Amino acid sequence: MSTFFGGLDNHLPALLVGVPLLFAFLMPLAERVHRRLTDILAVTGMGLTSLCGVLLAIRVFTTGAVGYAFGAASPDEMLPPDSGGVPVRILFTVDALGAFMVLIISVVGLATLVYSVTREDRHGEKATFYALFLLLTAGVSGMVATGDLFNLFVFLEISSLAGAALVAVRMDRGVAVEAALKYALLSATGGLLFLLGVALLYTQYGSLNIAFIARELRMTGLDTVAVALLAVPMAMKCGAVPMHFWMPDAYSRAPAGVTAFLVVSSQCAMYVLFRSLFTLFHRRLDLAMFGWFVIALGVLSMFIGVTMAIPQKDVKRLMAYHAISQSGYMLLGVGVGLAVLGKPELLDAYGRKAMAGGIFHIMNHALYKGLLFLTAGAVIYRTGQRDLNNLGGLGHQMGWTMLCFMAGALAIAGIPPFNGFASKFLLYESVFRFNPFLSIIAILVSVLTLASFMKVFHSMFMGPRLPRFAEVREAPLPMVVSMGVLAVLVILGGLFPTVVVEHIIEPAVVALLEQSEYIQTVMER
Amino acid sequence: MVFAFSLQSGSGVWHPLVWLAAFAVAAIIARVVLGFGRGSRKTGGDHVKPFLSGNEELDEERIHVRASNLYWGYLEAMKGYYRRLTALHTGNVADYLLWLFGVLAIMIVVGLAT
Amino acid sequence: MLLDLPFVAVGLIAVIGLGAMIAKKNLIKVILGLGLLEGAVNLFLVAVGYRQDGIAPIFTNAPEGVMVMPTVQALTLTAIVIGVATLALLLTMAMAIHRHYKTLNVERIVKLKG
């Protein structure tokens, strides 16, 4: 593998960002040549990016963390020989958790781009759409691969702006623009607060590299302010209540493929949250307080997310509230791990399993939430209705969409044998041993989730054939294929969870808990 | 007992393949039991129409229960909770920002105090 | 005391920007508040790099003395460019909202709520 394509293998972290950027800038040119060329180039570009992502993930999971130095004679030179042991260049550091996120981005990104090929647009809009989509891919890939705080801020802003523009791309009489404005305003403010935290850390330690700051950290008062400034905007971006208000607006008004990818973008913000809490600050944090802060955010998100979802009438707004609720599960699991980080015996008893549950849930959520949004988008595409009160009886005509929806809905409710059950099983059992009350709330929220999706299933697919929808046919083939791929992954993840947990999730948990491996990748090579 | 591909959680075990095998067995038994029924069945005709005490069957649009009418009892019981919660979701972007700064301020103050 | 003046200015500008974002009703003024917050963070970045009696960080024909930090100046340039792009996008969205909603009052741009 190491001589694949004559050494291109060494440059995979850079290609992960460079390839989507190149294809994004080719889009307007391709549009002048021929309209079909944009579709072909977009799918090719996304396919190559996914290939780079999967190869990078395989390399990291088999041989350990990968570091990449930009601008050095060879990508392995993390520390310039005359710098006195300080990493000066911009470095990409991909450890097991980063590779896990890259894998999610690759799979869901390709599925949603293939889904979006069947949009009918006015002349010229599709090239813009693909360019923004590929820019968003470059932004989130850079966010999870980088090991430098300011570089992370730059990629964060790229993904925020591209995401906001994608939400507004179908103007929809101004309502989509209102949603995009809220998303852009909140993301820009969050990014600025994040930059302020980065600046506070820079003034004290003279470096922007995560590994270097992690090694040199003394927890001063300014550092405590910096933790809050780094953590709270990222919690807002992943939809933690009470800063979640933008998420239902933005997710319900974006095109369905874009929403599925915005879910991945939120998970990458959660990755940044965990990276700063675990790798950057580690045990020097006030673990009890920050652990319970993350747990409190998680419990609030779970409960308020699902209770706000039940009375909704717009199908995508309902699913967006469920996205908030499921983010709560991930925050709960990893928060339990953070709270017991300083006590090794509790960590081995249930801390690792709680974190494994939380991180496994990130992947499962990206898969089944993407699937659910894609099915909702297919129904809206064929019927033109987004209000649940006006839908009904589509199970007769859209059989494949109904099956994919069932897979997604049973997965999100945590019903065996789908993948949602596997991660929720890990979460329930380990959180119960930490605090039984939290686990009971989690189970109650699962029941309410199932109730809410029964409502959606009945309103959309059950019932007699309505004469209004007599000409509605099954969704177009690219949509069905992308939904089918995600549904198959949901089922496989549920039938063989140990394969995923052993080879992907456990290395990611170890990468989060062992700060030293991350530091060693940069400082001692 | 630990089968192949079973997920350990530290205090419990989940065997998805055993579940699948049990589901398959149950499905086979259900199919066999279904096969004991009467083979011949007339389709169509008056005896398959729903009987509503002699009333006319309504057309499809009016039969289908709409989404807002499901869970009426739950929503009625939690009316106070939902009134307050929906009032918080104003839709005003300045309120969204206020919540963000509020949580940030609480975090900084609590962090510096402890 | 004189050296702390930039940081006091940062605090003042940031507070005015935050206040504008939360309290003002016109959407353009909210976006201007974001611009003020950006200015405050950029000023903070540049002020952090200052060294007393420092010279410009250029090695060619450099006189004796300690140089001010060059990295923060690069960070500030990048942040200014990002700020320009953000403001351009936000103002375009404000224009589109005005065209469709006929208002720029934040309290009336609430079609998405609840």
Residue-wise pLDDT for C67-99, tens only, equals 888 889 999 999 999 999 999 999 999 999 999
Asked if B40 reaches chain A (Cβ–Cβ under 8 Å), the answer is no
Q: How far is it, in rounded angstroms, from Cα A221 to Cα B56?
A: 76
Which pLDDT value is given to residue B44?
73
Residue A126 backbone phi and psi in degrees, to 5:
-70, -35
Neighbours of A125 (CB within 10 A): 14
Q: What average pLDDT does the structure give for chain A? A: 90
Which pLDDT value is given to residue A431?
92
- Structure confidence at residue A1 as a pLDDT band (50, 70, 90): very low
Chain B contact set for A243 (CB, 8 A): 96, 99-100, 103
Q: How far is it, in rounded angstroms, from Cα A23 to Cα A43?
A: 10
- Running DSSP on this structure, what letter comes out for residue A93? E
The residues, any chain, with a CB within 8 Å of residue A130's CB and separated by 6 or more, are A24, A27, A38, A39, A41, A42, A113
CB contact under 8 A, C109 and A178: yes
Residue A511 backbone phi and psi in degrees, to 5:
-65, -35
The two three-digit tokens of residue A138, written as one number? 């470059």
Q: How far is it, in rounded angstroms, from Cα A370 to Cα C114?
A: 23
Mutate to test the interface with C, among A152, A178, A213, A232 (most CBs of C within 10 A): A178
The two three-digit tokens of residue B95, written as one number? 């309120």
Of the candidates B89, B92, B101, which has its C-beta nearest C106's C-beta? Answer: B92
Asked if B78 reaches chain C (Cβ–Cβ under 8 Å), the answer is no
The mean pLDDT of B8-20, rounded to a whole number, is 85
Roughly how many angstroms between the first and final C-alpha of chain A, as a whole number? 21
The mean pLDDT of C21-30, rounded to a whole number, is 93
A509 pLDDT exceeds 80?
yes
Q: How far is it, in rounded angstroms, from Cα B11 to Cα B24?
A: 27
Asked if B99 reaches chain A (Cβ–Cβ under 8 Å), the answer is yes
- Structure confidence at residue B109 as a pLDDT band (50, 70, 90): very high
Name the neighbours of A, counting chains with at least 3 Cβ pairs within 8 A: B, C
Residue C70's identity, in one-letter code, is P
Of the candidates C22, C25, C111, which has its C-beta nearest B98's C-beta? Answer: C22
Chain A contact set for C79 (CB, 8 A): 153, 195
Range with lowest mean pLDDT among A325-334, A344-353, A489-498: A344-353
The two three-digit tokens of residue A145, written as one number? 């691969």
Q: Which residue of C has its CA nearest to A169?
A: C93
Which pLDDT value is given to residue B99?
94
Q: How far is it, in rounded angstroms, from Cα B72 to Cα B66?
A: 11
- pLDDT tens figures, A221-265: 889 999 999 999 999 999 998 899 999 999 999 998 899 999 999
Strands (E) located in chain B: 7-8, 13-14
The mean pLDDT of B23-49, rounded to a whole number, is 84
| Widest distance between CA atoms in chain C | 64
Pairing of strands B7-8, B13-14: antiparallel
- pLDDT tens figures, A222-232: 899 999 999 99
Q: List the alpha helices (DSSP H) in C24-70.
A: 27-48
* 3-state DSSP assignment of residue B7: strand
User: Is 1.10.287.3510 the CATH number for C2-101?
Assistant: yes
CB contact under 8 A, A150 and C41: no
Sequence ranges of the domains in chain B: 1-39, 76-114
Name the neighbours of B, counting chains with at least 3 Cβ pairs within 8 A: A, C
- Running DSSP on this structure, what letter comes out for residue A69? E
A73 pLDDT exceeds 60?
yes
Asked if A117 reaches chain C (Cβ–Cβ under 8 Å), the answer is no
- pLDDT tens figures, A286-320: 888 889 999 999 999 999 999 999 999 999 999 99
Helices A149-167 and A125-145 sit at what angle, rounded to 10 degrees? Answer: 150
Range with lowest mean pLDDT among A2-16, A81-95, B20-34, B88-102: A2-16
The residues, any chain, with a CB within 8 Å of residue A452's CB and separated by 6 or more, are A306, A309, A310, A318, A322
Sequence ranges of the domains in chain C: 2-101
| C-alpha separations of A392 from A85, A374, A434, A480, C59 in Å | 66, 18, 44, 20, 73
Which pLDDT value is given to residue A424?
93
Cβ–Cβ under 8 Å, residues A246 and B96: yes
Q: How far is it, in rounded angstroms, from Cα A120 to Cα A170?
A: 11
Chain A contact set for B59 (CB, 8 A): 467
Cβ–Cβ under 8 Å, residues A88 and A80: yes
Cβ–Cβ under 8 Å, residues A244 and A320: no
Of the candidates B92, B98, B101, which has its C-beta nearest C107's C-beta? Answer: B92
Q: How far is it, in rounded angstroms, from Cα A55 to Cα A505?
A: 17
Asked if A95 reaches chain C (Cβ–Cβ under 8 Å), the answer is no
Neighbours of A199 (CB within 10 A): 27
Q: How far is it, in rounded angstroms, from Cα A212 to Cα C1?
A: 32
**Within 13 A of B83's CA, how many CA atoms are on the CB side?**
5
- Running DSSP on this structure, what letter comes out for residue A348? I
Q: How far is it, in rounded angstroms, from Cα A456 to Cα A395?
A: 12
Looking at the DSSP bridge assignments, the partners of residue A146 are A92
ipTM of the complex: 0.96
| C-alpha separations of A7 from A2, A4, A12, A75, A175 in Å | 7, 6, 10, 11, 49
- Structure confidence at residue A123 as a pLDDT band (50, 70, 90): low
Which pLDDT value is given to residue A284?
83
Pairing of strands A66-69, A91-94: antiparallel
Closest CA relative to residue A452, chosen from A321, A298, A301:
A321
A490 pLDDT exceeds 90?
yes
